[in-house]
Structure 1
Amino acid sequence: MKEINRIIQFLFILTLISCKSMEKEKKYHWLATVSAPKEYPAEVYLGNLIADDFSYGFDAIWGTQNTGWGNQGGTMSVSTEQMEIPHTLEFTWLSLVEKKFYTGKWQLDKEKITALFEEGFMNYDTHKRATYDTFIIGLAPKGRVVLWASAAGITKEVGVFQAHDTIITKEKAYENARYMLEKDYAEDMVNDPIYKTFKPEILEKIAKYGRPDPAVYDLYRERYNWKSIILLPEGGVLDETNTSFFNGEIEILGGNELLNDTFSLRTVPNGLAFFYNNKTNNRYGFWADPFDEQEILNAFKKLGNKENIELFFKVAPNNESCRVFVKNKTEEIELKKEVITREQLK
């Protein structure tokens, strides 16, 4: 009898091991890309996003990156079709404005990322559930690193890390990256117009206001308990909102998700679009894109976290204009510097 019990226990253990092994083998298709602020370009030196069965690599061929904080750059195709969730990120880059290299290696919250991929999201273009397919590696001043998961216009922050500065000499650099160590390379990339590192509007912004304080990339991550409230003319039916945030995240809500949206901890938005049908079934879209950065950041900061905050949109009865407020139970601040675009879609 004891022998039979041992066999049963042994088989039970084997079953558990087999189940865990099957869980570990769950795979997804994903690629990766690099993001850096428009004012702080990063030169990719070497990096890897590592899973047990796959490593997505970066090297000098990626060149200079400054698509904007949280925005995707290019991707490199790979022959591998399905990969496990990555568990490690390692990255080294040259901050051209700061003229120094940063490097680091970090363990990822694999359980958090797996849960996010498993949950997925509703793609309101296809009206089907989808999941994430791109990791965005953000490189900011002072060695700040953020990892986002993204797909179909939706972006979620999945990790925040701190790199340390390092010294790389021309003698020790690998051959294809030695150009980064040429005399005045970083300065030329930042200041010489022939390289066109910056778009004209960014150069104009830098000349007028200077570069953002590096601390702002931490400020962008501060969260408030808020939601958007959109007051439409009588008979209007809201069906979708698309919100982008200063921390690089993007949220799209429609259907039941929009109906059931509640106050939750979100970072401050830098843009929001909403779409609705009026009582005669004409479709409209309004875009607050972008908000004035200082105006909206200051408004949220002033209202603070003691009460829920509403980002309140009031559409005029003729569907021609819209006013925007940031408000709680005791105070209301109208945003007057944002750019509102309105379009009749049908």
Structure 2
Amino acid sequence: METSKLRILILFIAGSFSLINCQNKKMEQKYSWLGTVSAPQEYPMEVYKGAIIADDFTYGFDAIWGTQNTGWGNEGGTMSVETQQMDIPTTLEFTWYSLVEKTFYTGKWNLDHEKIKELFEKGFIDQDNGKKATYTNFIVGLAPKGRVVLWINGPGNQKEVGVFQAHDTIITQEKAYENAKYMLKEGFADRMVKDPSYETFKPEIRAKIEKEGYPAPDIYDVYRERYNWKPSVILPEGSEWIDFGLTSYNGEQENLFGETLTADTYKKRAVPKFCGFYWRDQNKNRYAVWVDSFDEKEIFDLFQKLGKEKNIAFTIKVNADNTGAALSLKSEKEELPITKAKIRLSRKIE
């Protein structure tokens, strides 16, 4: 008799825990998100199939996405869905064809649920309206040698949330599903990569490849290396620094303004690829400065020379009428000029 009561009690307790867990899961905030694909401009990838999977929703990819090479970390297109609010995704799976390598890659990975949840919950302040916003897109980055990076994206903000390794696989004409059989046609990859009439590459990218060859496949790991740095803008006396937006080589983006700008301090960040900001002079005239690009070898050499242990101020010194700016990396004891960056400066903005 006592044994039966004990068994009933254990079942009751176990059932209670299951109910609590179920309720907690139901109570977890849902978010509105979509997915897209990114690949380097020099390494076009052909989507075969894939999915970003949540408990209540699957965002799928297949051959209709076609060739992707918008640039590392850059968004491609998105497909609209009827679902408005989804659970936080738990799984990523993807299969694709690397045209340059003539290799299929595939893999399935668990996502860091807590990291993604924290980013969704924290969100960011939208500079345009001053209201809290959050992320709306996942970007699946496909790099050579089966490297996969997953970013989460919102206006002006992009964070890396996962890095994975796929393995090569063999898909034959007989095995491929109907809409993907074109990838297996003889000569398909060569035509896409070598024939200019297919416009797989922008003319300047094709010219760069012909001159320098393809980037080393491990460069996409180098891009992820972080240094302890912050932006530092030096303006004419009486001026006000308004904001600072940056995109890094690793695909991440930040938008600093207001408290996030004034409170910003040294932080582990990847090497900047693009940045820009607005400022006002003492007469409240507004100006803009954009560093459209760096010389990749120079900027990486300079960061590597100062190293990952030092605090580095990425310094932009602007002259009085916004007609020139000097760039440098500055540690406590050393200042290294950046001489090959392409800089644009605005006239007075009305």
Corresponding residue for residue 211 of structure 1: 214
TM superposition score normalised by structure 1:
0.95
User: Is 1:87 paired with 2:90?
Assistant: yes
Give the 3-state SS of the residue equivalent to 1:289 in structure 2. Answer: strand
- Whole-angstrom distance in 2 between the partners of 1:175 and 1:307: 55
One of 218, 229, 233 as aligned partner of 1:226:
229
- Whole-angstrom distance in 2 between the partners of 1:56 and 1:17: 25
One of 240, 243, 246 as aligned partner of 1:243:
246
Greater shift, 316-325 or 104-113, is seen at: 316-325
Corresponding residue for residue 73 of structure 2: 70
Corresponding residue for residue 266 of structure 2: 263
- Whole-angstrom distance in 2 between the partners of 1:242 and 1:79: 33
User: Is 1:300 paired with 2:316?
Assistant: no
Corresponding residue for residue 60 of structure 1: 63
Give the letter for the 1:335 counterpart.
Answer: I
- Whole-angstrom distance in 2 between the partners of 1:303 and 1:213: 23
Aligned counterparts, 1:1-346, within 5 A? 16-17=20-21, 19-24=23-28, 26-343=29-346, 344-346=348-350
Give the 3-state SS of the residue equivalent to 1:345 in structure 2. Answer: coil
C-alpha change, 1:283 and 1:155, in structure 2 (3 Å) is same
- Whole-angstrom distance in 1 between the partners of 2:50 and 2:21: 33
Shift of 1:319: 2.3
C-alpha change, 1:215 and 1:15, in structure 2 (3 Å) is closer
- Whole-angstrom distance in 2 between the partners of 1:108 and 1:30: 15
- Contact in 2 for aligned 1:233/1:319 (Cα 8 Å): no
Give the letter for the 1:201 counterpart.
Answer: E
Runs of 4+ in 1 over 2 A off after TM superposition: 9-19, 21-24
C-alpha change, 1:46 and 1:287, in structure 2 (3 Å) is same
Give the 3-state SS of the residue equivalent to 2:94 in structure 1. Answer: strand
Shift of 1:28: 0.6
- Whole-angstrom distance in 1 between the partners of 2:39 and 2:140: 8
Q: Deviations over 1:297-339 (max 9, x none)?
A: 1100000023201101111123221000011112211111001
- Whole-angstrom distance in 2 between the partners of 1:270 and 1:263: 18
Identity percentage of aligned residues: 55
Shift of 1:151: 1.1
Shift of 1:15: 7.9
- Contact in 1 for aligned 2:156/2:245 (Cα 8 Å): no
Shift of 1:14: 8.2
Q: How many residues align?
A: 339
- Whole-angstrom distance in 2 between the partners of 1:162 and 1:13: 36
Question: Which residues of structure 1 form unaligned runs of 5+?
Answer: none
Give the 3-state SS of the residue equivalent to 1:337 in structure 2. Answer: coil
- Whole-angstrom distance in 1 between the partners of 2:311 and 2:186: 53
